[in-house]
Structure 1
Amino acid sequence: MPSIFDKIDNEILCQRIESISHESQPLWGKMNAAQMLSHCQAPIDVAYGELQLKSNFIFLILGKLYKKKILNAPRFQKNALTEPSFVRTGDYDFEKTKAELLSKVRRFATEGTASIKIEKHPFFGKMTYNEWDNLQWKHLNHHLEQFGV
């Protein structure tokens, strides 16, 4: 599996993001391109410790039960449940949002594992750097595939 921390893999991912245009249409789901670019920043912000999610006991138990299944799956399922605070329905400046996502993704390659500022995921519990890598890569790949890139 490619690594978000690897400079070459990361740049390929960024090239895919760069190929998204304001006119790009999803193959599934409800988000437009700008909403998707904004949505993709939320889990990165969690990893960087810039977005704190409230977690409760039930979500943590469910997250621990599904963690292995999600991390071992080859890809995310289409139309899977989304953390409510990650849902994007508003209007976003496409170019600004795209630039912000690219900057955040490239940070993984420049800072490496030091970019991950939290050890405990709000839903999956304790996570290794490899698990953070896996989760971030799969999430971004999922949404890039959603937009055909």
Structure 2
Amino acid sequence: MKTIFSATLRDELTHRISLLQASNKAQWGKMNVSQMARHCTIWNEWVLGTKPYEYKQEFLGKLFGKLALKSNTKDDKPIGKKMPAGRAFVVKEATSDLISYQSIWQGQVKAYKDFSNDSFIHDFFGKMTNEQIGIFAYKHNDHHLRQFGG
């Protein structure tokens, strides 16, 4: 299984992030490339626990989260194109600071080497094992890189 805890895959992701350019167009979704990079930095802050968060699972997640988590971490199938983002991670404001976000994002990917956020609870999936976090974090980052041809 592909996991962000693999040094080789972290290197691959950081290289793919470095290839993004402001001219990249989304193959799906509403964000531009800078908004997507900002989205990924916010999402990775949340998973890594680098800023204070109140982790809690949404009501629908309590009903369907474990089933969805199993489906999303059972194999290397990429995340689908129409996967909704949690409300806290939607970036609507215009941004054109791609280079800054690329740098932050690359640092965050590298930081998964020392992942230790035991209090992390996914807003939909709920409590996850480190193995599940590694698989899903890789898939999330890969999903958005594929979104912009990266």
Q: Which residue of 1 aligns with 2:15?
A: 15
Q: Deviations over 1:6-43 (max 9, x none)?
A: 22221111000000011111111111110010111233
Q: In structure 2, do the counterparts of structure 1 residues 65 and 2 end up closer, same or farther at CA, with 3 Å as the change threshold?
A: closer
Aligned residues: 146
Q: Could you say what secondary structure the match of 1:134 adopts?
A: helix
Q: Could you say what secondary structure the match of 1:99 adopts?
A: helix
> Which residue of 100, 105, 124 corresponds with 1:101?
105
Q: Which residue of 2 aligns with 1:133?
A: 134
Identity of aligned residues (%): 29
Quote the Cα distance in structure 2 between the aligned partners of 1:106 and 1:7.
8
Q: Which residue of 2 aligns with 1:65?
A: 67
Quote the Cα distance in structure 2 between the aligned partners of 1:71 and 1:108.
18
Quote the Cα distance in structure 2 between the aligned partners of 1:40 and 1:145.
13
CA contact (8 A) 2:38 2:101 kept: yes
Quote the Cα distance in structure 2 between the aligned partners of 1:144 and 1:56.
27
Quote the Cα distance in structure 2 between the aligned partners of 1:18 and 1:52.
31
Residue 41 (1) aligns with residue 41 (2): yes
Q: CA RMSD in A?
A: 1.8
Quote the Cα distance in structure 2 between the aligned partners of 1:56 and 1:80.
16
CA contact (8 A) 2:56 2:122 kept: no
User: Please, which runs of 5 or more residues in structure 1 have no aligned partner?
Assistant: none
Q: Could you say what secondary structure the match of 1:90 adopts?
A: coil
Residue 89 (1) aligns with residue 92 (2): yes
CA contact (8 A) 2:3 2:9 kept: yes
Quote the Cα distance in structure 2 between the aligned partners of 1:96 and 1:55.
31
